[in-house]
Structure 1
Amino acid sequence: MFASNFTVDSKYLTHVRGRDNLTSYSQSHTIASGNTMTNYFCSTCGTLLYRVSSRSPGQNILRIGTIDDFNLHETKLRPQVELFVKDRVSWFTGVEGAKQVEDGAWT
């Protein structure tokens, strides 16, 4: 399983509408680093919108699929780092030009 994400500094993340409809859930037992990950999702449809790690509390980890501007997908949101390469499925050979990291420890 994999997901494409990007990070946004908390000071730049704004909620145009629906902030009061978000629900959060935090846990650490399935996070490889042991950090706590808080997930924010829509309480109406269940869509995961973003996550915040205790490792980087000022950063929001958003799903690329929540962005509907496909030009951004081809440009600014093109993956730059692939994490957990050791666990990726055999049929996916990686993102050309992206940094490959065996586990989740990137800097």
Structure 2
Amino acid sequence: MPSGSCLCQGVKYQFKGEPISKAVCHCQSCHKLSSGSSVNLLVPHDHFRITAGRDHMRECNLTHESGMHLTTHFCADCGCVLYKTADRPEFVDDVIVLAGTLDDPGALDEAEPEAEFFVGERAKWWPALKGVRQLAGFT
């Protein structure tokens, strides 16, 4: 069962099964949240659970540049964003796990993206990923 945690290890999570999808996002919100683009794993909400540190979790609600309502879920102690939730129909029953928070050092190898979102926002020095869908937004 894949697991992850924040930088200070105060909050831990697990999810079962394979992610629904895996994508790199280059939107401005992801740039600000992760100090660059983010690798995201879409996981059914009912397959995801916080296993430690729930009392350390905080939320930040904002409007994404696409217009959807986005909530980031982060550790109050170290500030590490662990996952996001959103009201966009494709995301409403899921959590968007930031793959960089997975505990297994090889986890990012398994998180090979199927798509890149907001490719117009991608840094000019970042090459397009070969063999994955290149999308101007989420669709």
TM over 0.5: yes
Q: 2:116 corresponds to which residue?
A: 82
In the TM superposition, residue 101 of structure 1 has moved relative to its aligned partner by 0.4
Report the 3-state secondary structure (helix = DSSP H, G, I; strand = E; otherwise coil) of the residue aligned with 1:52. strand
Identify the residue that residue 105 of structure 2 maps to in structure 1.
70
1:18 counterpart residue number = 53
Q: Aligned partners of 1:45 and 1:71: how far apart in 2? A: 23
Among residues 97, 101, 105, which one is paired with 2:135 in the alignment?
Answer: 101
Q: Percent identity?
A: 28
Match of 2:41 in 1: 6
Q: Which structure has the highest strand share of the two?
A: 2
Unaligned runs of 5+ in 1: none
Aligned to 2:75: 42
Unaligned runs of 5+ in 2: 1-35
SS at structure 1 position matched to 2:83:
strand
Alignment of 1:58 onto 2:102: no
2:116, 2:134 within 8 Å by CA — same for their partners in 1? Answer: yes
Q: For 1:27-83, what per-residue CA distance to the aligned partner results, in whole angstroms no more than 9, with x for missing partners?
A: 11xx122111011000111000100011122110111111122333223x1111101
Would you say the 8 A contact 2:56–2:75 is kept in 1? yes
What's the CA shift string for 1:10-41, capped at 9, x where partnerless? 0000111111210011011xx12211101100
Larger RCO (CA under 8 A, 6+ residues apart)? 2
Q: Which amino acid aligns with 1:46?
A: G
In structure 1, what is the equivalent of residue 33 of structure 2? none
Give the ranges of 4+ consecutive aligned residues of structure 1 lying more than 3 Å apart after TM superposition.
none
Cα distance in structure 1, aligned partners of 2:107 and 2:37: 20
